Structure 1
C-alpha cells in the first residue's frame, strides 16, 4: 500500500466515523422528541420491570406472572392473589447486538443495520436515567468470543451509568465493522448469562435468521433471571418476493450469487409460505422463552412502532401485569 493509499483509507475511515456521529446525533434528537412525552410521571423503563422490593397483594388477573403468586394470601382468602413489587430505581440493562452480514441489507427506507443502531439508541435513551447502567455485547459475524475486537470475535462493552457513557457505547456499536459470516446468536445471548448478574433488563436485537434451536435455550435461560425484550429486524423482501423477472441475489454472509425467476407465481407463493413459517417459528420460540417481542420493519416508521410498544408496556404496568 502506498502513502497515497494509506491517506485515502484513513480519510475514508474518518469520513465513516463522522457520518456515524451525524447519524447518532440525529437519532438522539429524534428519539428525545418522540419518547420524552412517554417518560413524564412515574419512573418508567423500556419494560415494566417488576422490581425486587415486596409490595401489596391483589387478586390474580389473566396475564399475571404465576411465579409471583402470593400463596399465604391465596390460602387465607381462597381467591388467587399475586404479590406486587416496587420497581427498582437503579436498573442495569444489557444489549445483545447482532451485526451479522445479513444485517447489511434493506429495500425499504432503512438498512436492517440502521434499525439495529436506531433501536439501541432508543433503548439507551429510555434506560439511562437516575444512575441506570447500560452495557452491550456485540457480534459482527464469524465465530469466537472475547473482550476485545477482532475478526469473528464478539465484543463486550461494560455497563456504565451516564448519558456520555451511553453515547460512547452507541458509537462503538455504530462503528463496529461487519465481518463475513454469521454470528453465533446463541453464544452472543449466552454472554449475557455469564457472569450471573442481578435481575435487570436484557435486550436482544437481531434478524433472528439463525435456526431457533441455536438460540432458543440461551434465551430461556436468560429470561429466568431477567426481563427480556427481543427486537426482530425485518425487511419486506424477506417476507415476499416482487414480480420483477430474473433477480440476481448475493448472500451477504457467503458471497454466493443466485439468480431467481420471480415471474413464477408458484415460486413466489412457496417463498412467502416458507418465510411465514420461519417468522412463526421465531415468534413461537420467543414466546416459549418468555421474552417480549417487538418487530421493526425497514419499510415502516420504526420509532412509531417503538412508541406503541412502550405505551403498551406502560398500560400493562398500570394493570399490574408483567408483560
Structure 2
C-alpha cells in the first residue's frame, strides 16, 4: 500500500507538470522526436502524380496494372530517463536541490512522452545501478516512474556514469531517446558515452548550482564532499581561493561541454537559480530547426 502523503505529492507534481506541458510544450515534443522510420500501411492503385519509386512490382505483376506502397511514420518511441541519484544531488543553495529539479524536469518530459503515446522507462544510479523500471506505455506507468523518482532512497553515495550507460546498453537493444540527467561530476565515462550515442539518441541534461561555480566572500566555511565525506576549511575572504574555485568549476564544465560537442550532442543545461522551462523550449527549437 502506497502511503497517502506519497500519492498526494505525486498528484501535486502531476497537476503542476501537466500544466507546463499543456501551456508551454504542446506540439514541441512531437515535432522534435521522430519515430524509428516509415511503417508499411497498404498498397493501392497507382494515381497520376505518384512517385514511381513507390511502385510495388510484385503486386503490379499479379494485378496487371500499377500499384504503389503507402507508408506512415512509425511514431512510437521509447524514452528512458537515466538519472543520477548520488549524494551530490542533495545540494542546492537557491530554489531547489539539484535532485528535486531533476525529478520535476523528468516529470515534465515523461508527461510529454505520455501525450505522444510513447513508452517511458527509468534507470536510477549512483556508483551502481540501483533501480530499473522497464519501458511501458500508459498514465499509470508514468505515475509509477514519477513515484520512483520522488521517493527513491539510494543505498550508495558515489557516481559512476560508465556503469549506468553500460547497463542501459545491455537492457535496451532498440534505439531509444535517452535523457541522461546528472551533474556529471565524474570521470572515465567518455568511452561508454560514445558507445551509447551510436545506439541511442542521447540528450545530456546537466544540473548545476551557482555555488559550484562561484563562492561569495563569507569568511571561513567548512565544506564537505557529499559523495566521499571529505571535509575541508575554505577561507572565502581570500580572493585567490575564490578565483581558483571559480576556475576549477569553469574548467570542469568546459571539458564536459567539449566532450558533448565532439559527439554532436545537444545538451540541456539546467541551473537551480533559473527557471528551466524556457531552457527546455529553446532545446526543442534548436532540434526542430535541424529537420
Report the TM-score when normalising by structure 1.
0.73
Count residues in correspondence: 259
Residue 273 (str. 1) matches residue 247 (str. 2): yes
Which is higher, the Rg of structure 1 or of structure 2? Answer: 2
User: Any idea what SS the aligned residue of 1:49 has?
Assistant: coil
Residue 203 (str. 1) matches residue 189 (str. 2): no
Contact 1:51-1:86 within 8 A present in 2 as well: no
The 1:41–1:238 alpha-carbon spacing in structure 2 relative to 1, beyond 3 Å, is: closer
Counterparts of residues 1-323 of structure 1 (less than 5 Å): 18=5, 20-38=6-24, 40=26, 44=30, 47-49=32-34, 51-53=36-38, 88-139=74-125, 141-143=126-128, 145=129, 154-211=130-187, 214-314=188-288, 316=289, 321=290
Contact 2:220-2:236 within 8 A present in 1 as well: yes
Deviation at 1:40, TM superposition (A): 4.5
Q: d(CA) in 1 for partners of 2:101 and 2:265?
A: 20
User: Any idea what SS the aligned residue of 1:244 has?
Assistant: coil
Deviation at 1:242, TM superposition (A): 0.8
Deviation at 1:290, TM superposition (A): 3.0
The 1:245–1:312 alpha-carbon spacing in structure 2 relative to 1, beyond 3 Å, is: same
Deviations along 1:157-199, one digit per CA (max 9) or x if unpaired, are 1111001101101101221113343131111022211134222
Q: d(CA) in 1 for partners of 2:28 and 2:73?
A: 10
* Consecutive unaligned residues in structure 2, runs of 5 or more: 40-70
Deviation at 1:252, TM superposition (A): 1.1
Q: d(CA) in 1 for partners of 2:260 and 2:8?
A: 34
Moved more, 33-42 or 237-246: 33-42
Contact 2:85-2:154 within 8 A present in 1 as well: yes
Deviation at 1:87, TM superposition (A): 5.0
Q: d(CA) in 2 for partners of 1:244 and 1:200?
A: 46
Q: d(CA) in 2 for partners of 1:297 and 1:42?
A: 22
